[in-house]
Chains A and B, each alone.
Chain A
């Protein structure tokens, strides 16, 4: 007969194996990023010879160099500016539309809503070619405004879907009370619906901020001038320009990746929700 100790030790062995497996995958996830950060603190001379995970000297001045001489400071601020403007635009435009789709009546409401939803599901890989032509015609190519408008459009469908699902379930009593108090529709949207939608708005904000920060293809075809570029495209330009200064490139990669990782660790719950929501939508 097998004793309790047998089962217990079997269970412990299984747990150890599982943890070893999970831990090795976790290390594989971290290693490239750790190496990126560590390399950003070395010099062009030592970066390929000093293979320690803790460099002999920390060259934090690389970040100052990357920020100024590398030009990443400007691109970093661009990325921040685009992310804030696009997310702000989406929050206003999508909540208004979603509120109307959920609550207000007007002819063509369902057709319009279905159009937004269909856009979410039909892949058009060549659309950036036509978008390039369109922006040229509107004189919006190589302008921040052109990029911001395109990116608001990119996030619109998913955000409207998430918000409408929320507004559909929201109790009507509060709005009725506001209406009796003489509040206009716009006032109800702003004073009642928006504050109530805070939890789903957090998901919308985080989901779209991540999207804009990491966006590449539209920024690539829209911007010619480095001064307008967000980080993702500027990194590629930087690598192509001269003999690559690797520590500065690694510093550039770090300032691109780090804000995302920090925001992620602080707001994990919303990111996870945004991702699973995005998956269910698809």
Chain B
């Protein structure tokens, strides 16, 4: 009876465990195995190369580190510009204000769209240099036509354009979480501060910011993890790596796999990248603990 009972209970988790085991655990293990081989994905024999793939990543693959720098640049803009905008908007909405729900609904439209749709819709506007591209039209209008150009086909501005469109897609999401955080701050605290004669800036600095630190850290960690791994937006927006100007790690992994048919090397790149991401979020988590203790 007991055994039958236990078996019956197992049937409840069996489908989940089967799917998870086959499509998560097995690939997870294989990534680490394949990383030690040189293999084109087709041949029945794989050549064991030990840690050669990793050696190559660290000593002989500048394009990989270029892609890391690019992703870092996109992340930096997302962390500063995108999150500052998100916070500012949330702060502006965290009061008795008309149309609050309208703004909230609109700001969250870009985050629910796919990166491909966002990339292609913006590409269509940006490529149309003196048509739909209203910023260029503005530049021409104020007599600076030399500044109006296709930002995506210019190697100097392509990556920044990618980062800005990425921020456009992402700020509404940060806004929502910041707003939810701001609304948990008891109004009495603001009242008390005003009675004590604190001005708006002091209240912001001494009450809002310290209480928001956990939320800010959460948004920062998720922004880093999301921005470092963003790539479909670049496919939609630029069409690909643009000779390295807009390459990011995931696009590199994809190129190692599909372009040069080096499955082992692609896995080694994936492991390296995954480890870097884990280290970043760990450092940030530790750092945030310190920051919380200090305030």
Residues of A whose CB lies within 8 Å of any CB of B are: 15, 18-19, 21-22, 25-26, 28-33, 35-36, 39, 48-49, 51, 92-94, 96-97, 99-101, 104-107, 112, 115-116, 119, 122-127, 129-134, 149-150, 152-153, 156-157, 160, 185, 189, 210, 213-214, 216-217, 221, 232, 235-236, 239, 246, 249-250, 253, 256-257, 260-261, 264-265, 268, 271-272, 275-276, 279, 282
Q: Are A19 and B99 in contact (CB under 8 A)?
A: yes
Residue of B12, B30, B97, B114 near A213 (CB, 8 A) is: B114
Q: Are A216 and B13 in contact (CB under 8 A)?
A: no
User: Given the complex, which residues of A lie within 8 Å of B23, measured CB to CB?
Assistant: 131, 134, 149-150, 153
Interface residues of B in 259-290 (CB under 8 A from A): 263, 266-271, 273-274, 277-278
User: Taking the complex as formed, is B177 at the interface, i.e. its CB lies under 8 A from any CB of chain A?
Assistant: yes
Q: Are A185 and B12 in contact (CB under 8 A)?
A: yes
The minimal Cβ–Cβ distance linking B285 to chain A, given in whole angstroms, is: 11
Docked Cα-Cα span, A160 to B229, in Å, equals 24
Q: Are A51 and B16 in contact (CB under 8 A)?
A: no
Q: Are A153 and B106 in contact (CB under 8 A)?
A: no
User: Given the complex, which residues of B lie within 8 Å of A268, measured CB to CB?
Assistant: 105, 108
Taking A39-B124, A214-B114 as given, write out 17 further A-B residue pairs in contact, using a Cβ cutoff of 8 Å, ordered by the A residue number: A19-B98, A22-B99, A26-B107, A35-B124, A123-B278, A124-B28, A125-B229, A125-B249, A125-B277, A127-B31, A132-B257, A156-B20, A249-B120, A249-B124, A271-B108, A275-B177, A282-B221
Q: Are A124 and B31 in contact (CB under 8 A)?
A: yes
The minimal Cβ–Cβ distance linking B125 to chain A, given in whole angstroms, is: 6
Q: Are B19 and A275 in contact (CB under 8 A)?
A: no
User: Taking the complex as formed, is B110 at the interface, i.e. its CB lies under 8 A from any CB of chain A?
Assistant: yes
Q: Are B20 and A125 in contact (CB under 8 A)?
A: no
Docked Cα-Cα span, A112 to B219, in Å, equals 29
User: Given the complex, which residues of B lie within 8 Å of A235, measured CB to CB?
Assistant: 116-117, 120, 236
Q: Are B180 and A276 in contact (CB under 8 A)?
A: yes
Docked Cα-Cα span, A30 to B106, in Å, equals 8
Q: Are A271 and B112 in contact (CB under 8 A)?
A: yes
User: Do A130 and B92 form a contact, CB below 8 Å, given A105-B9, A156-B20, A160-B16?
Assistant: no
User: Taking the complex as formed, is B158 at the interface, i.e. its CB lies under 8 A from any CB of chain A?
Assistant: no
The minimal Cβ–Cβ distance linking B253 to chain A, given in whole angstroms, is: 6
Q: Are A134 and B128 in contact (CB under 8 A)?
A: no
User: Taking the complex as formed, is B148 at the interface, i.e. its CB lies under 8 A from any CB of chain A?
Assistant: no
Docked Cα-Cα span, A18 to B116, in Å, equals 32
Q: Are B277 and A123 in contact (CB under 8 A)?
A: yes
Give 1 or 0 for each of B111-131: 1 = CB within 8 Å of chain A CB: 111111110111011001001
The 9 lowest CB-CB distance pairs between A and B, nearest first, are A126-B270, A100-B12, A214-B114, A130-B27, A97-B16, A153-B23, A130-B30, A104-B9, A106-B9
Docked Cα-Cα span, A100 to B15, in Å, equals 12
Docked Cα-Cα span, A235 to B85, in Å, equals 31
Residue of A48, A221, A232 near B116 (CB, 8 A) is: A232
Docked Cα-Cα span, A33 to B121, in Å, equals 7
Q: Are A129 and B176 in contact (CB under 8 A)?
A: no
Q: Tell me whether chain B's interface is mostly helix, strand or loop, or mixed.
A: helix
Residue of A18, A51, A97, A112 near B92 (CB, 8 A) is: A18
Q: Are A32 and B99 in contact (CB under 8 A)?
A: no
User: Taking the complex as formed, is B218 at the interface, i.e. its CB lies under 8 A from any CB of chain A?
Assistant: yes
User: Taking the complex as formed, is B185 at the interface, i.e. its CB lies under 8 A from any CB of chain A?
Assistant: no
User: Do A123 and B132 form a contact, CB below 8 Å, given A36-B124, A250-B124, A275-B173?
Assistant: no
Q: Are B103 and A26 in contact (CB under 8 A)?
A: yes
Docked Cα-Cα span, A39 to B116, in Å, equals 17
Q: Are A124 and B121 in contact (CB under 8 A)?
A: no
Residue of B89, B117, B134, B177 near A276 (CB, 8 A) is: B177
Q: Are B236 and A236 in contact (CB under 8 A)?
A: yes
Q: Are A129 and B34 in contact (CB under 8 A)?
A: yes
User: Given the complex, which residues of B lie within 8 Å of A39, measured CB to CB?
Assistant: 124, 132
Docked Cα-Cα span, A279 to B173, in Å, equals 10
Docked Cα-Cα span, A93 to B15, in Å, equals 6
Q: List 25 A-B contacts (CB under 8 A).
A: A21-B89, A21-B92, A25-B107, A28-B168, A48-B128, A94-B16, A97-B12, A116-B16, A126-B253, A126-B266, A126-B269, A130-B28, A134-B23, A149-B19, A150-B23, A153-B20, A157-B20, A185-B12, A189-B12, A210-B112, A214-B114, A216-B116, A235-B116, A239-B120, A257-B121
